[in-house]
Structure 1
Amino acid sequence: MNAMDSNIRILVADDHPLLREGLSGMIAGQPDMKLVAEAENGEQALQAYRTHQPDITLMDVQMPKMNGIDAITAIRSEFPAARIVVLTTYKGDAQAVRAIKAGASGYLLKSMLRKDLVETIRSVHAGRRRISADIASEMAEHMADDELTTRERDVLSRVAAGNANKEVAAQMGISEETVKTHMKNVLTKLSARDRTHAVVVAVRRGIIDL
């Protein structure tokens, strides 16, 4: 096997061209790494993975057409051994948990790329998990918390968009009382004082997006 064959082959999936360019430059500067493909959304990432079957995929979470977590799920369903590192600006533990459950092997904050990216790639390629310390701490803090159900997240997302209970009920085809019950559960699970506080906590933890 020659040196080129032993390189860690990497796919970068992110919808920001400048970030892809920066990642490409960092990878090019490593003697044991090679960028084999780029993608700007989850659908392209899935297709690129099928074509190139890289050793490591660097995957943004927030992308058009198919988000990063859905792309991870799709890739891992076809390629169970895929090693994927999530890149994100969000410190939220809930988003990290969803990514890890989807099959991500690493979870790295974009603010830490310059410091931790290369080591994270090599570590995940060697079969280890790598999660940013801040994220791991947040995950540990909320490990015992009850997760919001899909319906509760849906209700909260609609509330976050400025809808009153009556409007949420009409949009979802449920009663206003049911919406109130869901919101009561949300407030309890998030230890939130009111609806606004619940939205703030949920966004910070990555439970919902605005």
Structure 2
Amino acid sequence: MQPRIVIADDHPLFRGALAHAVARVWPGAAVFEASSAAEARAALQAGGAECLLLDLHMADSSGLSVLMDLRQDYPALPIVIVSASEEPRVAAAAAQLGAAGFIPKSASLDAIREGLAAVQGGDAWFAEGHAGEDDDLARIASLTPAQRRILAGIRQGLLNKQIAYELSISEATVKAHITAILRKLGVGSRTQAVLVAAKLDVDQPVAEPAQA
């Protein structure tokens, strides 16, 4: 069966470079390009994808939350993060949250192909020396999808009644979820929860397309 690879990145030049690398690692693969997380989801819902190459910054997504959500929905799918960020903490966080690999956008095409080949063979591929696991990330990963949506509302500064309206649930349900969120994160206030959740953020440096 023809392999299907999904490339999710909002920069056409990077998608082109990644498609070139994919063609070398998965000859004859059907490549589906997406410029947003929503388009990536649509491609994945069609079924049969062998790998997702995922940028952390697109119009409808930013940071590691999109990785957590996709891992929740597609636990068996290898997801390779392709990011302009080269911070060791970001690569470490991606690994802890279930990514199969982390490839900086500054990497050469040879390095990108090397990373993709490792993932194709069932191995993880991360730069050497990335940091160890973070207890706060483990706590965030323990939240349910509903709790993560409510935490996102808290981070936006929304009141309980506003979160309830946005999610079409009762304010009492929101309060119950917030109590559970604070307990799981090991914090005592909404402000502390926001500070913990900030570890999902990833700065967006400027990167140039990969060079051969």
Within 1, Cα distance between the matches of 2:26 and 2:99?
Answer: 25
- 1:168-207 → structure 2 map (5 Å cutoff): none
Point out where structure 1 has 5 or more consecutive residues left out of the alignment: 151-170, 174-180, 187-201
The structural deviation recorded for 1:88 is 0.9
Is 1:65 the equivalent of 2:60?
A: yes
More RCO (CA 8 Å, sep 6+): 2
Matched-pair contact (CA < 8 Å) for 2:53–2:80 = yes
Secondary structure of the residue aligned to 2:110 is helix
Does the residue aligned with 1:58 lie in a helix, a strand or coil?
strand
Matched, 1:25 2:20: yes
d(CA) in 1 for partners of 2:89, 2:25: 33
Give SS of 2:49's match.
coil
Residue 107 of structure 1 deviates from its aligned partner by 0.7
Moved segments of 4+, more than 6 Å: none
Q: Deviations over 1:78-124 (max 9, x none)?
A: 22110011011212233223322332110111111412222222211
Q: Please say which structure displays the higher CA radius of gyration.
A: 1
Identity %: 27
The equivalent residue for 2:48 is 53
**Cα–Cα, structure 1 residues 21 and 29, in superposed 2: closer, same or farther, change >3 Å?**
same
2:6 matches 1:11: yes
For the pair 1:139 / 2:134, whether they are aligned, the reply is no
5+ residue gaps in structure 2?
A: 141-156, 160-190, 205-212
Aligned length: 154
CA–CA distance in 2 between the matches of 1:64 and 1:101? 24
Task: Decide whether aligned partners of structure 1 residues 172 and 31 sit closer, same or farther in structure 2, where only a CA change above 3 A counts.
Answer: closer
Shift of 1:55: 0.8
Q: Deviations over 1:157-184 (max 9, x none)?
A: xxxxxxxxxxxxxx799xxxxxxx97xx
Q: State the partner residue of 1:110.
A: 105
Do the aligned partners of 2:9 and 2:55 also contact (CA within 8 Å) in 1?
yes
Equivalent residues of 1:13, 1:57 under 8 A apart: yes
Work out the CA distance in 2 between the residues paired with 1:8 and 1:80.
18
Q: For residue 130 of structure 1, what is the aligned residue in structure 2?
A: 125
Comparing both structures, which one devotes a greater share of its residues to helix? 1
Range 86-95 or range 12-21, more displaced: 86-95
Q: Give the residue type in structure 2 aligned to 1:127.
A: G
- Structure 1 equivalent of residue 203 of structure 2: 209
CA distance in 1 between counterparts of 2:65 and 2:6 reads 16
Kept in 2, the 8 Å contact 1:83–1:105? The answer is yes
The answer to whether the 8 Å contact 1:9/1:33 transfers is: no
Give the alignment partner of residue 83 of structure 2, picking from 75, 88, 102.
Answer: 88
Distance, in Å, in 1 between the alignment partners of 2:200 and 2:115 is 22
TM (norm. structure 2) is 0.58
The structural deviation recorded for 1:71 is 2.9
Normalising by structure 1, we get a TM-score of: 0.59
1:60, distance to aligned residue in structure 2 (A): 0.7
User: What is the CA–CA distance in structure 2 between the aligned matches of 1:40 and 1:108, rounded to whole Å?
Assistant: 18
